[in-house]
A and B are shown apart, each in its own frame.
Chain A
Amino acid sequence: DAGVTQSPTHLIKTRGQHVTLRCSPISGHKSVSWYQQVLGQGPQFIFQYYEKEERGRGNFPDRFSARQFPNYSSELNVNALLLGDSALYLCASSFEGLGIGSQHFGDGTRLSIL
């Protein structure tokens, strides 16, 4: 089975531009979360979507937005890019349910801002 897939793998942008990152969850997973990982740090939570509804938002400015589509894939949009937005953007999907489960991460999109 395919894991979480993210596109593109690498992206170079300049300050002020906007970017759209895409994520396809594991088949059957209805929840998608986005994380930002700055070099040398742990991932930081940006958004979580479940059944196309926003379930949570981390401490990120309004320049960051996301949405989930009927097929459960998701997009992360960042406007007015800043140098500090350079990071690895990770998408994770998870299966609904209680008990010990897990969020499965893709390999991320490496975003570099010049």
Chain B
Amino acid sequence: QQQVKQSPQSLIVQKGGISIINCAYENTAFDYFPWYQQFPGKGPALLIAIRPDVSEKKEGRFTISFNKSAKQFSLHIMDSQPGDSATYFCAASKGGSTLGRLYFGRGTQLTVWP
């Protein structure tokens, strides 16, 4: 049973455009929602993360939007660049600690065309 559902599976965006990836969850005990970026042959790298007490968090060109009532969160990549082409994973954990087990979505393969 997939605890975190992610869409779309793949995404193609023009350079300079906005990339949007969506995730949904059911378990209301989740209290930490990170996004990871993974390049081929590499491990996932933390991009940005949010707690459910805020509705939005922005770091540079990356923004997480969080809707607690809908149990959904999304990643927006503004001014997408070819170097952003990678696989993106949303994840969730519970327990209020950095030590929590991460439940990952299935991933979105983003391709940014120049």
Contact = CB atoms under 8 A, between A and B. Distances in A.
Contacts of B42: 107
A55 B36 CA distance: 23
Contacts of B104: 42-44
Interface string B91-112: 1000011110111111100000
A101 B98 contact: yes
A103 B102 contact: yes
B4 to A, nearest CB: 8
B40 to A, nearest CB: 11
A37 to B, nearest CB: 8
A106 interface: yes
A94 B101 contact: no
Interface string A72-114: 0000000000000000001010111111111111111000000
A107 B41 contact: yes
B98 A98 contact: yes
A33 B104 CA distance: 14
User: B interface, how many residues as a size bin?
Assistant: 20 to 34
Nearest to B42: A107
Interface stretch (B11-19, B45-53, B67-75, B77-85): B45-53
A58 interface: yes
A4 B44 CA distance: 12
Interface string B31-72: 010101000011111100111000000000000000000000
A56 B43 CA distance: 21
B30 interface: no
A20 B43 CA distance: 19
Contacts of B41: 107
B106 A99 contact: no
A98 B45 contact: no
11 contacts: A45-B101, A45-B102, A45-B103, A48-B99, A55-B99, A96-B98, A98-B96, A98-B97, A103-B102, A105-B44, A106-B43
